[in-house]
Amino acid sequence: MSKHRVIPILIALGGTGLPACTSTTEAPPVAITTEFALRDSFRALWIDHVALTRFYLVAAIADLPSADAAAARLLENQANLGDAIQPYYGSSAAAALTALLREHITIAVQIVAAAKGNDALRLAEAKTRWTTNSDAIATFLAAANPNWPVADLQAMMRTHLDQTLAEATARLEGNWTADVLAYQTVSKHILEMADTLSAGITKQFPLKVSVTAMSGKNQELRRAMRALWTEHVTWTRLYLISTLADLPDADAASVRLMQNQVDLGNALKPYYGVTVGEGLTNLLHDHISLAAEVIAAAKAGDDATLAGSQQRWNANADAIATFLAGSNPAWAGLDLSNMMHMHLDLTSAELTSRLMKDWAADTAAYDKVVAHARTMADTLSSGIALQFPGSF
């Protein structure tokens, strides 16, 4: 981006984007969010960014019919990212960031196409434009907020490009171990980027972003739970996509999904001990194994097997709810059971829409299952904080 494209935005922001002085007769500005909520919202948007990018990579590289829908949802995420800065920098800045991010995605699509076609010249040219665009994004953001040094943002953006390229390369080469590792790496880094952006806004706009009363340890617990449950539905979707399309990475996706159940159990061990943690992992492993049976039966059109698998899947959901409720009085058994069954219903809707190739419904189903998983995560973390107040 040239300096000429940045300066008009800064003028619209009032120079630096810092809040203007007000007279003593005016009412003080009202905070529009807390630093905790801001950080969580940015994390959710940016982890969506890399998850939706991965869904597109899977579909485009395998020539799946869902590729266009995946690209459309990914572009929508760029608008959401732009909208996220609107309360602080205004509509013009939000639109400008959205345009830059959409260009980021458009070039990425071209890179995938060139790599698939073994067109070295087109690939090199697209990579050059991608780097230029990433630097433009960094320059634009740094000009709006003095807490975002341009060199730091450029380094973070270029790392993001390198990690995304590594992910695409691993898939093109069929190196599923590297592919899984690349996604884990890009996911970790994108959360660091999100935290950098939200922290910068918090410092720049202290009147708009208030301090939360929640302790630091409580915030860490909530974010850890959200990350784990978001991973749960993301890897479930990746397994679902690969299994239904008979892709060669289905086993790798299954292994990574099973590891997530271990991670979820381990998250409880500091509070409830090894027995409870491993007990939850075992129940969650059954949850995934039964989900695999449901997927296989639905794919085969075997209604009798499907009905039996769904019945066992529902029973397992109740068992998970009962198990957790027995560990924490803040977790009502009926509430947990209802949440678990809602999780099954939303996952089933995702499965059904993919089988029917209803990509609009498929996209909507995933968005709903992610939002619900984060609600479940918040319920669990809130219960732990209530039960162990001394730890938080």
DSSP 112-132: HHHHHTT-HHHHHHHHHHHHH
Cβ contacts of 97 within 8 Å, gap of 6 or more: 81, 82, 85, 137, 140, 141
Phi/psi of residue 179, nearest 5 degrees: -65, -45
pLDDT value, residue 18: 37
| Residues 35/50, Cβ–Cβ less than 8 Å | no
Note the pLDDT of residue 28. Answer: 61
pLDDT higher than 80, residue 177: yes
What's the mean pLDDT when you consider all of the chain? 93
Nearest to 82 by CA among 183, 195, 226, 197: 197
Angle ∠(74,189,369) on CA atoms, nearest 5: 45
CA–CA dist 287, 304 (Å, integer): 19
The average pLDDT across 291-304 equals: 97
H or E stretch including 390? none
Half-sphere exposure for 188 (CA within 13 Å, toward CB): 7
For range 238-245, the mean pLDDT: 98
Angle at 294 between CA 368 and CA 183, to 5 degrees: 55
How far apart (Å, rounded) are the C-alpha atoms in residues 74 and 293? 30
Cα–chain-centroid distance for residue 3? 32
Cα 36 from Cα 48, distance rounded (Å): 18
Task: Measure the CA dihedral 85/87/93/98, to 10°.
Answer: 40
Give the three-class secondary structure for 30. Answer: coil
Q: What is the pLDDT of residues 242-290, one digit of tens each?
A: 999 999 999 999 999 999 999 999 999 999 999 999 999 999 999 999 9
pLDDT value, residue 20: 37
